[in-house]
Structure 1
Amino acid sequence: MIVTKRNLPRRTLLRGVGATLALPFLDAMAPALTALTRTAAAPTPRLGFFYVPNGVVLPEWRPEETGAGFTLSPTLAPLAPFREQVMVLTGLAHRQAAAFGDGNGDHSRASAVWLTGVHARQTEGADVLAGVSADQIAARTLGRQTPLPSLELALEANELIGNCDVGYSCVYQNTISWRTPTTPVPMETHPRIVFERLFGDGSSPEARRARLRSTRSILDSVTEETARLQRTLGAGDRTRMTQYLDAVRDVEQRVQRSEDYSVDAGLELPERPVSVPEQFADHARLMFDLLALAYQADITRVSTFLLGRELSQRTYPEIGVPGPHHTLSHHRGDDQKIAQVAKINLYHVQLFSRFLETLSAVPDGDGSLLDHTLLVYGGGIGDGNLHEHVDLPVLLAGGGAYLRTGRHVVYGEEPPMANLLLSLLARAGVPTDALGDSTGRLEGLSEL
């Protein structure tokens, strides 16, 4: 790498033995004569879609007031530090998740339709059919300038095959991302594999075993290049670089700690690592932090994140919910079960709020990563007890450069959620004529 004091290319990489490390955006990457002190570098738009399964307890989710003066609901209370950076949308629907004569299977249709707006074909075989998802439409444009066009993450095992939901293939629940109508994009659950996709890996089980047994960090292999680069940077960039490298090392060490037991036990490593953090919260935080690093280093600008598969029977004893999630969601009005589901909904939002905190602490242009990232949080089922695909839980976060946040907006006549996806794509610089059952762009996202 040749470094000059004029400006650095945005795609500058630090290269070491077996490792390549992308850099965050630095002032030195702004072209000469367009200093950030005069005008901020044009923000890089990023998109993220976060899915929660089995519906929500709507009375606990939905704020009572509308407009800018709304009070966060009990479920959304953890977002209080970011109240002015979120927007709650009420009244959107996904009508294409209805049965249309296919019978039950609402859970599979819910996740398949969420980013596609297309009714999924009922099949147990390989002939699955949905539609191109919003994230992959975005990746075709935003991914042209990044090492990874998109990043797909999940927190629940998704190796199930065959029939998972009344004649529907498990594929429909295993992912929310579709590259083509017949090509679902696999979602990765293992933090080690994600880390190595971002920053390099060993190409064989032996190489991975050596990496796991080594106490060296990936950063050690780029020490000389890092020092050389640091000498060319201004004070602000040096601080930004130090913070970024510290974050990389922290995530790497947490991945290593989560896998130590595999090495210490002398187990034979398979072609793919097998361990993830045992606790759900630890797993979630680690995957969120990896995603934040991917955004910060501009390794990707588009992501999808599955907090749980539809029909998830995960239990959450750590928050006092020993019962399985999906079973509890069919509460039939039982107050105790409703309270348990509300705890799960709250727990998920708490973890998401921490992710927002991470993004808000990372400088990006004239703001933060949170300012320049459009995040959608929600699911394809509204009331989980009734399997309804109307009044969907929809939360927008970040994107202050593109949205008028800090509001609760209520829509009448149940506009398709695909209209929202069209609008967000346009704001991210990916104008699209149609998506699924869209009828036009959704109004009310920028208006006072």
Structure 2
Amino acid sequence: MSPFTTNISRRNVLRGLGVSMALPFMESLTSRPLLGANSLPAPPKRMAFIFVPNGVNLADWTPQQTGYGFDLPSILQPLAQVQDDLLVISGLTHDKGRANGDGPGDHARSASVFLTGAQPRKTDGANIRSGVSVDQAAAQAAGHLTRLRSLELGCEPGRSAGNCDSGYSCAYSSSISWGSSSTPNGKETNPKLVFERLFSNGKQQETDKNKLRREALKKSILDFVSDDAKRLKASLGRNDQRKLDEYLTGVREIERRLDHASNDPAPIVDIDYPVPEGTPKDYGEHIRLMCDMMVLGFQTDTTRIATCMFANAGSNRSYQNLDIPNGHHALSHHRGDDEKLSKISKINQFHVAQLAYLLKKMKATPDGHGNLLDNSMVCYGSGLSDGDRHNNENLPVLLAGHGGGTITPGRHLSIPTETPMCNLFMSMLDRFGTPIDYIGDSTGRLSGLDI
């Protein structure tokens, strides 16, 4: 176990009325008997995986140049401020997302294969089967080091049964995290419930009761840990006092946004898009709040592993905020129509802008001698390449972060087509400190992540 884990993650907590608020890394609270005066224990590494549906408009996604100094295409323009923290990877393939004799159902397969690399069994019954996903392979090896083994998030609710795509169970379309070959992990779509989970004391009955009491009193979680916070602040150095103030201010701002979202009137939406109760009516705000939850989980070392589905596979929600009334899935069958392709690019760019929000927030969050993005790996992409062709080669994949100094970003990495995406996962697991012999259809490690 690392010095960071023993000294930080399980000890520095503010408590009060059903709340257990873990704190970010603070030098003042680190015992360093074996380290030099200016040394800090190495922060842990974190991994996040983000899924978007229906492929992308590759013409507006793929950089023309490889290596350093590439120009960002229009879809990736929102990432300009974090381009040096980014690897654009072209050429990766998910062969098991192909029919391979199973007929139609490409959207369901694209989600179930995204982190597993395993061919899903074509069924809409209880006998579903896929494979253990990369996030859960890491959680099985290292999840005991944090209060939450992993965090599964999403922005569209999904069903665990029924036929959602040409004979494939809805469980395939709405899940990317699989704890076993027959067990998809359910995702939480309500950011307020995620927030409560991050800051609960782990005792569900007490947590629920005290949550109701806090809401009745109209008080913030911070109001119930204020005494602990004041005592702690008196023992901190000046830099850590500022860090504590910034952290608590950030938590209160997220609470304010969550309360505002809960009080929003029901949105008027396309009938194809079921909106979960209690979530923001603004889709972008919904995604950003989920990004905030990931940052809070990583910042406080409550978890080191997270997944998030910006939308379910085959999602046909419309994007009224972009003046696009058409359903996303319907548009993805563009047949080369320039107007439809332009709208797809706008939707793709909108999703990337939410990723940029996450990465910039991670980069602005101190972590050891660097920032949270320095010590993380964030994999973003789709299980389909082009939504019209439903193809699974040359997938749109981004890998952000420096992986604790084990990744050299700022490049466009073009690799041979048909290279399994699971080879990337093998390399990520190595860097996370949880190596395994194989995952899905991996054939080895992906070279070129560091140079």
> If the TM-score is normalised by the length of the shorter chain, which range does it land in?
over 0.9
Report whether the alignment pairs 1:222 with 2:225: yes
Q: Which residue of 2 aligns with 1:297?
A: 300
How many Å separate the matches in 2 of 1:9 and 1:100? 48
Question: How far off its partner does 1:212 sit?
Answer: 3.4
Contact kept, 8 Å, 1:381 with 1:388, in 2: the verdict is yes
Which consecutive residues of structure 1, in runs of 5 or more, have no partner in the other structure? 1-6, 263-272
Q: Indicate the residue corresponding to 1:178 in structure 2.
A: 178
Where does residue 3 of structure 1 map in the other structure? Answer: none
CA contact under 8 A between 1:375 and 1:399: conserved in structure 2?
A: no
Whole-angstrom CA distance in 2 between matches of 1:10 and 1:259: 31
**How many pairs were matched up?**
432
| Structure 2 residue aligned with 1:64 | 64
- Are residues 135 and 91 of structure 1, via their aligned partners in 2, closer, same or farther at CA, if it must alter by over 3 Å? same
Aligned to 2:376: 373
- The Cα offsets for residues 66-85 of structure 1, whole Å up to 9 and x where unpaired, read as 01121111111111111110
Structure 2 partner of 1:392: 395
Structure 1 contact 30–36 (Cα < 8 Å) conserved: no
Match of 1:235 among 225, 235, 238: 238
1:303-325 deviation line (CA, Å, top 9, x unaligned)? 00100111101111111211000
Matched residue, 2:329: 326
Answering whether residue 404 of structure 2 is matched by residue 405 of structure 1, we say no
Listed as ranges, the gaps of 5+ residues in structure 2 are 1-5, 266-275
Q: 1:206 to 1:295 in 2, by over 3 A?
A: closer
* Correspondent of 1:443 among 438, 441, 447: 447
Aligned-residue offset at 1:159: 3.3
Asked if structure 2 preserves the Cα contact closer than 8 Å seen for 1:177 and 1:304, the reply is yes
Secondary structure of the residue aligned to 2:88 is: strand
Q: Identity of counterpart residues, as a percentage?
A: 43
2:118 counterpart of 1:118: yes
Task: Assess if the C-alpha contact under 8 Å between 1:425 and 1:431 holds in 2.
Answer: yes
Which 4+ stretches in 1 moved above 6 angstroms?
none
Conserved? CA contact 1:10–1:29, under 8 Å: no
One-letter identity of the residue aligned with 2:95: R
Shift of 1:40: 3.5
**SS of structure 2 residue aligned to 1:419:** helix
> 1:335 and 2:338 equivalent?
yes
* Pairing 1:137-216 to 2, within 5 Å after superposition: 137-159=137-159, 161-200=161-200, 203=205, 208-216=211-219
Q: CA RMSD for the aligned pairs?
A: 1.9
Aligned residue type for 2:422 = A
Distance 1:36 1:233 in 2: 19
- Residue aligned with 2:84, SS: helix
Post-superposition shift, 1:213? 3.9
In the alignment, the residues of structure 2 paired with residue 330 and residue 9 of structure 1 have an alpha-carbon distance, to the nearest angstrom, of 50
| Matched AA of 1:10 | S
CA drift of 1:248 comes to 1.1
1:117-136 pair list within 5 angstroms: 117-136=117-136
1:250 equivalent in structure 2: 253
* Helix, strand or coil at the partner of 2:120: coil
- In the TM superposition, residue 207 of structure 1 has moved relative to its aligned partner by 5.8
239-248 or 115-124, which deviates more: 239-248
- Contact map agreement 2:394 2:417 (CA 8 A) in 1: no
The change in CA–CA distance for 1:36 and 1:58 in structure 2 (over 3 A counts) is farther
Q: Please state how far the C-alpha of 1:200 moved relative to its aligned partner.
A: 2.0
Contact 1:87-1:395 at 8 Å conserved across structures = yes
Contact 2:316 2:327 in 1 (8 A): yes
CA shift, 1:209, in A, is 4.8
Output the TM-score relative to the length of structure 1.
Answer: 0.93
The CA deviation at 1:255 is: 1.2
Equivalent position SS for 2:179: strand
How far the C-alpha of 1:383 sits from its partner, in A, is: 0.8
Assess, with a 3 A threshold, how the Cα gap between structure 1 residues 205 and 240 changes in structure 2: closer, same or farther: closer
Q: Hey, what does 2:9 align to over in structure 1?
A: 10
> AA paired with 1:441?
R
1:292-339 Cα shifts (integer Å, max 9, x gaps): 111101110000010011110111111121100000000001100000
The one of 402, 414, 418 aligned to 2:418 = 414
Partners of 2:212 and 2:34 in 1: how far apart? 47
Asked whether the equivalents of residues 92 and 390 of structure 1 are also in contact (C-alpha less than 8 Å), the reply is yes
**1:53–1:311 contact (8 Å) kept in structure 2:** yes
Q: CA deviation at 1:133?
A: 0.3
Cα distance in 2 for residues equivalent to 1:131 and 1:34: 43
Give 1:344's aligned amino acid.
I
Q: Of 338, 346, 354, which residue of structure 2 is paired with 1:351?
A: 354
Does the C-alpha gap of structure 1 residues 261 and 113 become closer, same or farther in structure 2, counting only changes over 3 Å? closer
Tell me the distance in 1 between the aligned counterparts of 2:36 and 2:384.
Answer: 44
Q: Which moved more, 1:344-353 or 1:21-30?
A: 21-30
Query: Cα 1:17–1:440, aligned 2, differ >3 Å: closer, same or farther?
Result: same
Distance 1:108 1:75 in 2: 25
Question: What is the distance in 1 between the residues matched to 2:82 and 2:394?
Answer: 23
Deviation at 1:365, TM superposition (A): 0.7
Cα displacement string for residues 158-214 of structure 1 (whole angstroms, at most 9, x for unaligned residues)? 136300000000000111000010111001100111011101287487765544343
